[in-house]
Amino acid sequence: MRFDVITIFPDLIADAVAHGVLGRALAQGLVEVSVHDLRGFCHDRHRQVDDTPYGGGPGMVMKPEPFFDAVRSLQAETPSPAHVVLLSPQGRVLTQPHAAELAERERIMLLCARYEGVDERVRQGLVDEEISIGDYVLSGG
């Protein structure tokens, strides 16, 4: 099983999966985790991933263009398309039965949100499902 994790904190994710149960699974070749820096898919000089929400409002949302470019680029790497998951507080809560369903998939791409979330075009145009790990928000998205 392959996981592609798209985040603005690639070092944080890479360090976390290198230890414990996931670290052992990686060492045994049971799972593959590729971490991708979303900023690497930005085309401006400052590698900006956030912007004010269209129509106004407080906070910042993550721009759609880097996500679209990242998913397109990574989907082209293998013949089988990945199941694209947006990690968000409003998603379906991850349960053990749901995890078992996901384990049947060959490849999962995790989109890690930040700030006030993502531009709605990401949800509508890229995402197969939204998943929440519970009623809380972790530092770093």
50-51 vs 129-132, strand pairing mode: unpaired
Which residue from 140, 109, 141 is spatially nearest to 127, judged by alpha carbons?
109
pLDDT single digits (tens) 80-130: 899 999 998 889 999 999 999 999 999 999 999 877 788 888 899 999 999
Q: Could you tell me if 85 and 110 are in contact, meaning their C-beta atoms sit under 8 angstroms apart?
A: yes
Residue 141 has pLDDT above 60, yes or no: no
Strands (E), the chain: 2-7, 32-37, 50-51, 61-62, 83-93, 107-112, 129-132
Cα 130 to Cα 110: distance, rounded to the nearest angstrom: 10
> pLDDT tens digits for 35-78?
999 999 988 887 777 777 666 677 777 888 999 999 999 999 98
- Determine contact, residues 129/85, Cβ cutoff 8 Å: yes
3-state SS, one letter per residue, for 50-62: EECCCCCCCCCEE
Position 96 scores a pLDDT of 96
pLDDT at 140: 57
Assigned architecture for domain 2-132: 3-Layer(aba) Sandwich (3.40)
| pLDDT at position 110 | 97
Please list, in sequence order, all residues whose beta carbon lies within 8 angstroms of the beta carbon of residue 110, skipping any fewer than 6 positions away: 3, 4, 5, 6, 85, 87
Q: Specify the higher pLDDT residue, 49 or 24.
A: 24
Largest CA distance in the chain: 49
What pLDDT score does 128 carry? Answer: 97
Q: What is the pLDDT of residue 6?
A: 95
pTM value surpassing 0.75: yes
Neighbours of 4 (CB within 10 A): 22
Helix (H) or strand (E) holding 64: helix 64-75
